[in-house]
Amino acid sequence: MSKAPEFSYTPEQVKDLCETAIKDLESGLTDLVNIPGPQRNFKNTMLAFENAVSGFGGTVQVPIFLAYVSDNEDLRKAGQEMELRISRYSVDLFTREDIFNALSEYAAKGEKLEAVEARLLERSLLDFKRNGLGLEPRKKNKVKKLKKELIGLELDFSKNLREVNDVLEVSEEELEGLPEDFKARLKKSEGGKYLVTMNYPDYIPFMDNAENGGARRRLGEMFNNRCSPVNIELMEKAIALRRKSAKLLGYPSYAEYVLDNRMAGNSENVISFLERTWARLKKKGRKELRARLKLKGGEDKVLNAWESRYYNNQLKKTKYAIDHEKIKEYFPLETVINGMFGVFGEVLGARFDPAQLPAWHKDVRAYEVKNADGSIAAYFYFDLFPRDGKYKHAACFGLRHGRVLEDGSYELPAAAIVANFPPPSGGSPALLTFDDVVTLFHEFGHVTHNIFTKAKYGKFSGTSVSRDFVEVPSKMLENWAYCPEVLRRISGHFKAPSEKLPEKIIKKLIAAKNMDSGLGNLRQLFFSLLDMRYHTARGKVDTTKLYEKLMKKISLIPMSPGTHPQASFGHLMGGYEAGYYSYLWSEVIAADLFGVFEASGVMNPETGAKYRELILAPGRSYDEAGQVEKFLGRPSTEDAFLKSIGAA
């Protein structure tokens, strides 16, 4: 059984490890390339390549992760440099003629392979072809150069966002509407004013609750101008380089290049899906907008960007009498975590036992994930509170892929949730808003994909699925946050733990789930269509102009004048370019899958076992649409999704 990962690296060790890992991989690849053609077989060619690449990934995964979470600035810098070096080296690796020729030489033998092995060979060859192999040398080298340049732009964009430390100074009066524990944890300026940061635990409660519209407007403008103009330049340059590389590879646009390797297949399918959904959501969105404008009052018929969260929250408080600041008293972090482990442990047949494992920071909690028979299935970590230099959002990081090792044993997977929930303050424990609970369930969905993998090969392990399938397990688990029996199990007032979330509040939370599903999903559609327009454009893209035009048309809420929200739209520079539609696409599939649980009982362990076996365990070992069809007994449709958001 493989031990838990280690995290105790020095900056020097990370630098050395980078060189050693590349050297070791090169040595293995030289052996593979030098095998005489007639002696090639699956084991010494395809499997040797897969083992070498997965082993290499396993060596560098944790040091790169430390760039996002370490409290040592030098170590973060070393991890960042490693990430850039390894990303660029990977471009070199998958543009090498000698390896491509070795794999092609083996493929030409036409050996009969099992389904998963045949898929491994086909996908590995496709990776090379998508990097220009098979093109004439001049074009291939151009593609390689563009890919390396893009990696640098993407990492700079992300680094700029991580290092944002802008603050808005506000007076005591401008904090009207915010709870005491929020004020208690804000730092103060020398002049005695309160400092509101751009971090989510500050930004979201402020935009939801601050009664002073002027202060909200100022914070909204500052937040939506983060890293402008530097990141706009990076994004527009990246869009142009992506278009150029796609053309060299024979695709009419970058979107077609990306979608050729996704469930959706092409941009026509994606745009048709988005426009079809938009048509069915517009009516609900307009109705919701009218309700918010009525609450706002006055003659103004526009709901501004800095007003939308506030009036949404006011509507929750009036129409549904939901006070989210009050509700969070029932969601102390420890109670939620223990309840969540209990719920998903029961559904998926597992236990999450706290364990003394190596970690990267004193605040990190570590767990052994155990199967029903007590055997260890995986390792899991929580890193939940903000600190300087740490990744600013909530995300699941895969720390190690599950896979069969060369000696036949199974490498146990490991994953972490890195989040920025409000820490304990003013004598209160850490309390989660209901939105935080949903976020936690979402990220835990990604964790289940990573830790319950049974994939034979690292290439297919856990979340290594089509990008438009990767959000299915995370969207899937969000559904449990709206089940009455689950809410009872994960709640307990921080002053009286046996006092569960009151039934009337549970009813209201569930009723309120769809109070903004029209506007919320129109916002997702806006981001998705914006992304598609950026990446199907034939010429230079003015990202600000297009953002402004589409935001008003699709989301029904105009962009604030003088802001540049795309400068902090990290998804389009971090793996979701020409793929943002994946969130909605995945949500449609997840709603369909959850329907099976609803029919059999949301805590049904038999349905859970089937879900674990057919959706989580394979990773990308099989065709995702085929696995979904097996689970449902039919192809997936949009009906369950539209019904679930009240737009059927």
CA–CA gap between residue 376 and residue 370 (Å, rounded): 4
Q: Which DSSP helix (H) or strand (E) runs through 89?
A: helix 73-93
CA–CA gap between residue 491 and residue 606 (Å, rounded): 26
CA–CA gap between residue 555 and residue 228 (Å, rounded): 22
Q: What is the dihedral of CA 607, 609, 614, 616, to 10 degrees?
A: 110
User: Which are the contacts of 317, defined by CB distance < 8 A and separation ≥ 6?
Assistant: 323
Question: Are 238 and 531 spatial neighbours (Cβ–Cβ below 8 Å)?
Answer: no
Q: Is 71 exposed, middle or buried (0-12, 13-18, 19+ CB in 10 A)?
A: middle
The helix/strand/coil state of 192 is coil
**Residue 126 in tokens:** 């496709």
* 290: number of Cβ within 10 Å: 12
Q: What is the DSSP string of 258-272?
A: HHTTSSS-SHHHHHH
Question: Are 504 and 342 spatial neighbours (Cβ–Cβ below 8 Å)?
Answer: no
Report the residue count for the chain.
648
The helix/strand/coil state of 391 is coil
CA–CA gap between residue 642 and residue 648 (Å, rounded): 5
Question: Are 113 and 42 spatial neighbours (Cβ–Cβ below 8 Å)?
Answer: yes
The DSSP letter of residue 199 is S
Question: Are 236 and 541 spatial neighbours (Cβ–Cβ below 8 Å)?
Answer: yes
User: Which are the contacts of 294, defined by CB distance < 8 A and separation ≥ 6?
Assistant: none
CA–CA gap between residue 552 and residue 545 (Å, rounded): 11
The helix/strand/coil state of 327 is helix
The DSSP letter of residue 646 is T
Q: Which amino acid is at 549?
A: K
CA–CA gap between residue 231 and residue 276 (Å, rounded): 32
Question: Are 60 and 401 spatial neighbours (Cβ–Cβ below 8 Å)?
Answer: no
The answer to whether the peptide bond before residue 229 is cis (omega within 30 degrees of 0) is yes
Minimal CA–CA distance to 611: which of 624, 597, 623? Answer: 597
Minimal CA–CA distance to 19: which of 60, 70, 53, 51? Answer: 60
The helix/strand/coil state of 196 is strand
Q: Is 87 exposed, middle or buried (0-12, 13-18, 19+ CB in 10 A)?
A: middle
- Phi/psi at 15 (5° precision): -60, -45
Catalytic site includes residue 443: yes
CA–CA gap between residue 42 and residue 65 (Å, rounded): 32
Which residues are bridge partners to 164 per DSSP? Answer: none
User: Which entry of 154, 256, 288, 443 is annotated as an active-site residue?
Assistant: 443
Name the residue with tokens 């939105």: 435
Q: What is the DSSP string of 344-379?
A: HHHHHTEEEEE-----SSTT-EEEEEEETTS-EEEE
The DSSP letter of residue 108 is T
- Phi/psi at 140 (5° precision): -60, -45
Catalytic residues: 443
